[in-house]
Amino acid sequence: MKVPIKQYYNLLSTYLRSQWRWVAVLAVLILITIGLRLANPQILRTFIDTATEGGERSILIRSALLFFGIALLTQALSVAATYVGETVAWTATNALRLDLLDHALHLDATFHKDHTPGQMIERIDGDVATLSNFFSRFTIDIVGNGFLVAGILALLFREDWRIGLPILAFAIVTLILLIWIRKLAVPYWTKYRKLSAEFFGFLGEHISGREDIRANGAVGHVMRRFYEFVQKMFPVRLRSSLGGYSMWMANVGLFAFGHAVAFGVGATLWRASLITIGTVYLVFHYTELLRGPISEIRTQITDLQRAEAGIRRIRELMNTESRLDDEGTAHLPTGPLGVRFDGVGFAYEAARVSSAVDQEDADASEEDNDHEPEMVPALHAIDFDLAPGTVLGLLGRTGSGKTTLARLLVRLYDPQTGAVRVGGQSVGTVQIADLRRAVRKVPQEVQLFRATIRDNVRLFDPSIDDERVLDALEHLGIREWVLGLPDGLDTMLAADGGGLSAGQGQLIALGRAFLADPGLVILDEASSRLDPATETLLEIAVDRLLENRTAIVIAHRLSTVERADQILILDDGRIAEFGQRHELVADPSSRLSRLLQAGLEEVLV
């Protein structure tokens, strides 16, 4: 597969348009540098011819000073061009990273289920890093060095067509050969980028689970998988690198031949008294000067191999569309939101295993996509209606479908059959961002970030000031707890909330939810044993969060069931029981009554 020129142009125009002034400065710097590099050999020829003919010393001094001045100016302009080029590159690649991250965050949960965090880091950062040179210098260097080559050949033809013609033939053969060799490495760079993404996904997953791996004696298995990845990556990287090295070796050999041509032509014409010794040097110098732009073009083409692989993968990610339609125009009412499930059925798509990503595997994967994916049923014909302001206790064993039901309400997935309605609107008709502002899920495993308590509560939203944060914490009854921490709102949390207990982490999550002022709260109650002080704070905070709101509480404890107005019990993805809590408790034949008698913690967790 080739990346069309249009793709290159679209990428460059999109991310360089806002930097056109810097790009123009870079182009001017490079063009001036080209002119100076063409002028200096002419000065050297004058110096050599004047010296051999016994010319005036003042002419030699002026020529030498002019040569050194131009050489220093050329270096200064090259440094300036490098600085401007890096500035352009970082600005463009960072903008591309932001667009990729934003796109990935809006993809549906099925996509993220099939791609590990390590893979996504490599796709968003690693692939983009390969485009740094592509954005900063590729086009300008290719065009600029093309002008330099054209200028050298024009000056050589001006001296004598018998000089210009063989050097022109040499330059054409060299470029054709280097462009041909370029094609050898592109498929291997593409393979390597994909393998690299899989490798980093593997590392990220197993480093995050290092405690379980060490505690359960799985280190040997992880190391074996590590070596398997390395052994798989090595031959691909070797072949891709050899493609670049072959260009370098061809370059060296061709220029050795080019120097021989220059010396041969120069010596022949000098012996015929058609040119001076200074012109012989000029021919050699310009031939040597060709090494720079042709080598630079070779380097740019080598970088293009990496960039082309990166562009393919970036385009693939950007072309990946979410399965969730986000073109809804309906609006949710304010206040508590009603919930209705109408014959909802849902099945997860079975996880796909990443392959070795060579071309044959990629083709096989495309063929597999033509078939219906294997589905894993999770919910069957779920029907229930929850009035606004009601608290629903959601019970069921592990794997019964409780978490799936919650995911459908925040629209991480869409059901295959039936409809999910919130506030009288089908969730598919409401924009996802609006839905998730009105429906907040507080998970059992809270994700805390390496940041301050303030930023963990407001989720890095600078528009939320300290007063609003403290008011939310005050309402939940945890303001004093937060202010009692070493640095209050400025207390830094370690990665994954290190230093806080599970209960304290849920207090932070409750603060997040309260700040959003949702009409529906989905609370996955923590089942871990809490210390009495934290448990008291958590119970108060939950009660206050649920005030004047509809709530679905995935319950694990007796105290939570007592808080609920209605109870829904799931069993193997089906509704086993649904009704008013007090009626079910009073009915000795109900499932809820039997569960309470058996001990809720033991039966449900």
DSSP string covering 320-334, please? PPPSS-----B-PPS
Which of 81-85, 158-162, 261-265, 598-602 shows the lowest mean pLDDT across its residues?
A: 598-602
Residue 394, beta-bridge partner list:
554, 568
Nearest to residue 404, comparing CAs of 424, 433, 375? 375
Task: Tell me what percent of the chain is helix, strand and coil, each rounded to the nearest 5.
Answer: 65, 10, 20
Which of 360-369, 453-462, 592-601 shows the lowest mean pLDDT across its residues?
A: 360-369
State the pLDDT at residue 568: 94
Mean pLDDT of 96-121: 83
Mean pLDDT of 112-138: 75
The residue among 353 and 45 whose pLDDT is bigger is 45
Reported pTM = 0.64
The model's confidence at residue 345, banded by pLDDT at 50, 70 and 90, is very high
Which of 111-125, 324-338, 528-542 shows the lowest mean pLDDT across its residues?
A: 528-542
Mean pLDDT of 538-559: 83
The residue among 5 and 294 whose pLDDT is bigger is 294
The model's confidence at residue 16, banded by pLDDT at 50, 70 and 90, is confident
Domains within the chain, CATH numbers bracketed: 11-210+223-319 (1.20.1560.10), 379-604 (3.40.50.300)
Mean pLDDT of 426-449: 87
Which of 11-15, 359-363, 391-395 shows the lowest mean pLDDT across its residues?
A: 359-363
The model's confidence at residue 114, banded by pLDDT at 50, 70 and 90, is confident
Mean pLDDT of 94-122: 83
The model's confidence at residue 243, banded by pLDDT at 50, 70 and 90, is low
> 532 burial class (0-12, 13-18, 19+ CB within 10 angstroms)?
exposed
Q: Please state the φ and ψ torsions of residue 218, each to the nearest 5 degrees.
A: -100, 15
State the pLDDT at residue 358: 40
In angstroms, the Cα distances linking 413 to 342, 405, 417 are 16, 10, 12
Mean pLDDT of 400-405: 91
The rounded mean pLDDT for the chain is: 81
The model's confidence at residue 263, banded by pLDDT at 50, 70 and 90, is confident
3-state SS of 492-542 is: ECCHHHCCCCHHHHHHHHHHHHHHHCCCEEEEECCCCCCCHHHHHHHHHHH
Show Cβ contacts of residue 526 under 8 Å, excluding neighbours closer than 6 positions.
Answer: 444, 502, 503, 506, 538, 556
Report the SS3 class of residue 269.
helix
Q: Are 243 and 305 in contact (CB under 8 A)?
A: yes
Nearest to residue 444, comparing CAs of 347, 343, 509, 524? 524
The model's confidence at residue 130, banded by pLDDT at 50, 70 and 90, is confident
Q: Are 383 and 417 in contact (CB under 8 A)?
A: no
The model's confidence at residue 206, banded by pLDDT at 50, 70 and 90, is confident
Question: Does position 413 have pLDDT exceeding 60, yes or no?
Answer: yes
Give the tens place of pLDDT for each residue, 179-188.
676 666 667 7
State the pLDDT at residue 357: 39
Mean pLDDT of 41-68: 84
Question: Does position 374 have pLDDT exceeding 80, yes or no?
Answer: no
Which of 209-213, 383-387, 482-486, 596-600 shows the lowest mean pLDDT across its residues?
A: 596-600
Question: Does position 1 have pLDDT exceeding 50, yes or no?
Answer: no
Question: Does position 49 have pLDDT exceeding 50, yes or no?
Answer: yes
Mean pLDDT of 264-285: 83
Q: Are 392 and 552 in contact (CB under 8 A)?
A: yes
